[in-house]
Amino acid sequence: MRLPLLLLLLPPLSSPLSLPPLPKLPSPPAFVSPPAFIAASLLSLSLLAPPSLAAGTVAPLADVGLGEFLVKDSKQLLRLSLPYTPGDPGRAAQESLEYVKLRLDQVGFAGKKSVWSSALKDLSAAKASLSSSRPALLEAVPGARRGAAERELALLDEALAQLGDALRDQDISATTAAQAGAAERLYEVRLAAQPRARLPYELPGEVAMLPTLRGRATVSATVTRGDARAKPFEMGESERGQTYSATLPLSIVVDGLRAPVTAGNFVDLVARGAYAGAEVGGTSDLFVNVKAKKPSARRIPLELFYKKDGGPTYHYNSDEDKRATEAFMDPFQAPGAMGMVHEPEDSDSASDEFFFLKWKQNADKLDQIRKGDVISAVKVVDGMENFVPGGK
């Protein structure tokens, strides 16, 4: 059964299940499908330093990325899942910039002049789209945020120039850094144009009364060791070698544009302090599992947003809805993705228990989290203006 995700943002991250609260993991029926007993309705976990993508492409019919390429970088997934209208030049430029990274990552670059040439064409296409759309991009941004958007566009111009130089030099390190900077600058401008606390579709009356997040928000969390004698967290190499810290910072981007009810429930619980002091309940090769320290009596429905739809669907999983082969707006295929746990026989049973998705080959920071570690601090640091309390 294919279910959606919660995209999350983590720090640099990089079976049968061993988690006591969860049933055995069934064999997934399709590529990186979440297990049948888990419903993920989106939050979004994007890495502060995303892992490199696995090599390879997928058939376009799989619809799990952009064109023929598989998107497995959570920041890219967030940028590409931002709502847009047909013919939107900002979206067209975003796609062209993302193709640069996907092409070099998945086709390869060493000694492949044709790939570098194609990436330069992608950059030219992005510039052409932006040249014709810059006034419209700024006009779409409300006045209070337009100044910041203009500064982002100026920085975007610099990043595009750096990307062009790096591509012509066939310098993969400089290309990777410049592409990430340019793609993120453009995304910030497009995000600034999104209406606050408003969705581009109507919610069904049965769920509209629940707390909802009608936009995106960022949650900052800190994980500390439950056992003071345990090895500190590895934070990466410096000039003096490996650095360590007693705390592990997480930055979680919560996507209410694609899962307003699930995201609203999570943000509400964070704001109420439900996760402060919560312990990691268990880990496995695939998951890090967390329950709220202050349990919630609220239950929320399964929420899935298919790529072909204009809004989320509720209550029925993909098998029950005969849509098991369809892709989701935020596919469950990025290390760091976050989802809510549902009971095996009840799709509408999500409450306060969530999990992070990790894959052994890309785990890095997530793989360091152990059972008994503690979320010592957690708060909403941005986007609370998109939260609508509801009546339940």
Domains and CATH numbers, the chain: 84-192 (1.20.120.290), 205-388 (2.40.100.10)
Lowest mean pLDDT among 189-193, 259-263, 265-269, 338-342: 338-342
**By three-state DSSP, how is residue 156 classified?**
helix
Q: Per the structure block, which two tokens stand in for 375?
A: 């979320």
The answer to whether 274 touches 296, Cβ cutoff 8 Å, is: yes
- Please write the tens of the pLDDT for every residue from 257-267: 999 999 999 99
How confident is residue 333, by pLDDT bands cut at 50, 70 and 90?
confident
User: Cβ atoms within 10 A of the Cβ of 118, count?
Assistant: 16
Q: Given the DSSP bridges, would you call strands 338-341 and 38-39 parallel, antiparallel or unpaired? A: antiparallel
Residue 106 has pLDDT above 60, yes or no: yes
What predicted TM-score, i.e. pTM, was given to this entire model? Answer: 0.83
- Please write the tens of the pLDDT for every residue from 242-278: 999 999 999 999 999 999 999 999 999 999 999 999 9
In our burial notation (b when 16+ CB lie closer than 10 A, e otherwise), range 149-182 reads: beebbebbeebbebbbebbeebeeeebbebbbbb
Closest CA to 218 of 77, 80, 380: 380
Residues 6+ apart with CB under 8 A from 232: 225, 244, 245, 246
| Burial label, 5 (beta-carbon count in 10 A; 0-12, 13-18, 19+) | buried
